Homo-oligomer: A and B are copies of this chain.
Amino acid sequence: MDETKLTSGEDALIARYFQPLATDPGAFNLVDDAAILKPSADDLVLKTDAIVEGVHFFPDDPPDTVARKALRVNLSDLASKGAIPAGFLLTLALRSADDAWLAPFARGLGEDAARYGCPLLGGDTVSTPGPKMISIAAFGRVPPGRMVHRSGAKPGDRIVVSGTIGDAALGLDILKGGAVAKALAGDVAAREMLVGRYRVPQPRNALAQAVRDHASAAMDVSDGLAGDLAKLCAASAVSAVIDAPGIPLSAPAAALLARGTVGIGTIVAGGDDYEILCAIPENRVEAFAAAAGQAGVAVASIGTVIAGPSAPKFLDAQGREITLKHLSYSHF
């Protein structure tokens, strides 16, 4: 509803920052109205996730980390579904065409697109009077019928997670100046590691093939391990028992938990982990661990799927059930 303009700043912005990223022939150099994905025998896995300034990232987060987060939260979903990235569409809502923000944003986006083999295929750039927002629709491929679902977990399966849990929630606490920030006031390295885990997820796309080969059910941990496990169990019509001390933690997270700076609730309900949570049949756990090792990703078995409709239980070192005040993050 702005006035029209003789020259299109939007076109110039796209040409300057995003055309260099559109290396895939199906992107038509971003000068057409749409992109193409060529047919293949695979199923196409479709995912969209958006991040909003002030909600999913801070206004002063480095722009390249904002771009990486926007793409990686989607790549993480593709990984957990066993899919190989094929490309993405970008929607970018900005108050103004600010070169100081756009240049590093586009650079970070392009680097990650190359790193994960997920080219920019097209997009839309719109003005907004509000917070910046980046919405990405990402596409991946799996052999027909082989997408790994949330449903499919069976009693007796092991519950396995990749990487470490809780770091991003602790990093967020640091950025908000909370208890973790105070506890780690003298430990720059730990603070930077945790903040980095919040700002720049490490999607486990290297695990996609292993998940597809071995998992009976999988999803990524984005809203908190406890809540996401509850969703996986509900979709599979099962329950689970988790050995809380077996949840893999980074050294700073383990120290903060041991010192009582944070409770286990912050670790398992904080969200933004972007690790893979999956159910692996007992007789495949070894093969899955071996494949994960080959892929260079640590995985840990943290519990067992059991029958029944009850919510998953988290047990402490003494086998007592831990009461969780919250399970996960929710927008509404």
Contact = CB atoms under 8 A, between A and B. Distances in A.
Interface string A151-178: 1000000000000000000001000100
Nearest to A97: B332
Given A135-B91, A332-B97, A6 B326 contact: yes
A269 interface: yes
A46 B271 CA distance: 31
Contacts of A224: 4
A123 interface: yes
Nearest to A14: B332
A80 B330 contact: no
A127 B91 CA distance: 16
A50 B135 contact: yes
Given A4-B327, A130-B130, A332-B10, A44 B37 contact: yes
A123 B89 CA distance: 14
12 contacts: A4-B327, A5-B326, A9-B330, A11-B231, A33-B77, A33-B80, A34-B78, A39-B42, A50-B135, A124-B135, A128-B130, A130-B131
Interface of A: 1-13, 26, 28, 31-52, 54-56, 77-78, 80-81, 83, 87, 89-91, 93-94, 96-97, 121-131, 133, 135, 137, 139-140, 144, 147, 149-151, 172, 176, 219-220, 223-224, 227, 231, 235, 269-271, 325-332
